[in-house]
Structure 1
Amino acid sequence: MTRLPCERGGLTLKQRQLLTFIEGYVADSDGVSPSFDEMRQGVGLRSKNGIGRLLDALVERGHLHRLSRRSRAIVLAPTPAALELSAPMQARIRNLAARAGTTPHAFLSAVLDAHGDRP
């Protein structure tokens, strides 16, 4: 699933970091969500309770869904069709991300953070 960083308006830095971490983890592990401990380490928090609060905020803002009574039960919300990138643009982003040694999501997120262009 392709999510664009521009969809993340209104999120705090930690919320954006967690969402980017989850997206990358899910993409790298064939759809398996990270555990609370992996998320805690991925964004540099000390407590799992902090991860729970961040996840609640991401659910509230519609970026992901949580399934009850299941471990690793995080589902990313679908991307609106209006924000899909053209095939040439996706290829260009994949190429730039590969040259930078990262994923396209992480690459775009880093570029937008570096330039302060987050909505």
Structure 2
Amino acid sequence: MSSIPKIVNAPKKIGGAGPSKRRSPSTSLSLNAAERAELKKLTALLPSGPRSGDASKVVMQAATYIQQLAATVQARVKNGTLPAEMLQSLPPAFHSVRSTRIQKKRKSIEKKR
């Protein structure tokens, strides 16, 4: 008897061997040497955590960190552990003017009730 190979009906693989994954386009820009050096310095200043090679993510992490630092300074001034002059060293965008406006709005809403 001669051996006859069995025919197996299996689905054909199309494309690659694994499941397809959609890849988002790279958001990294082509940076010159000076910009790469600045990005490296900025990355070194950020607190330890997951490091990203993407320039936009590094800048976003830095912005978030700056906001956290400004909020910490404001909270310590409010608690009295830092002098009020420390708020003047912050850029105008981080002054606590917004919080007083919110408090005034809340008070006016409570008066209307």
- The structure with more radius of gyration: 2
RCO comparison, higher one (Cα < 8 Å, 6+): 1
The bucket for the TM-score relative to the shorter chain is under 0.3
TM-score, normalised to structure 1, is: 0.25
TM-score, normalised to structure 2, is: 0.26
